[in-house]
Amino acid sequence: MSANAAAPAKEKPKSKKMLIIVVALVLVLGIAGAAAFFLLAKKKNADDEEGGAAAAGAQEMSAKAPPTFLPFENMVVNLADPGGDRFAQIGITVEVADAKTAEQIKLYLPSIRSSVLLLISQRTSGELLLREGKEKLAKDILREVSRPLGFTVPRERPKRAASAEEEDEEEDRPVRKPPRNPVQGILFSSFIIQ
């Protein structure tokens, strides 16, 4: 019996070691879990603060919707070059603030296309080959697209030297901001001159 009694005595130290290992493992896991909890809680609070800012930004973004693009059919126009043998094929896309404005433009599309064709037919190939000529044409088309909607786009005037009295008068006048034009831009989808 003494041999049997000695055998269980040897197993007790193994079970003590195992118990110490398990307790140490539980303590390590508990400490790691607590650390993770505190770090995640801190991160969540930071995210909530950023989320508040992001929510404010999202509300701001929802107020400012992405633009709507309204493509026109390509237009082929004879240019004002001497001899009349040059023509342009131009594709135009109108950038508008919202779909409602795009629908309004569609109502006036025949008149707008006619005005744009007249604008282009007054240009020469030399004007349209330059970037400045294309930019001026885009501004003129913007004016023609905006006109039926009741918006005006001021023409660029050459700056003149103003006297000191005129500058003082201009500064004293109250500046009234016109309503924002929903036609935001004119984009060329194709531009071919032959």
69-84 pLDDT, tens digit per residue, is 999 999 999 999 998 8
- 119 vs 116: CA distance, rounded Å: 5
Q: Where are the domains of the chain?
A: 1-64, 68-154+181-193
From the list 135, 121, 149, the residue with the least C-alpha distance to 186 is: 135
Burial class of residue 145, CB neighbours in 10 A (0-12, 13-18, 19+): buried
The alpha-carbon radius of gyration of the chain (Å, integer) is: 37
Over residues 104-141, the pLDDT tens digits come to 999 999 999 999 999 999 999 999 999 999 999 999 99
From the list 142, 121, 123, the residue with the least C-alpha distance to 186 is: 142
Domain 68-154+181-193 has CATH 3.40.50.720: no
pTM to 2 decimal places: 0.57
Identify the three-state secondary structure at position 76: strand
Q: Which residue has the tokens 């008149």?
A: 111
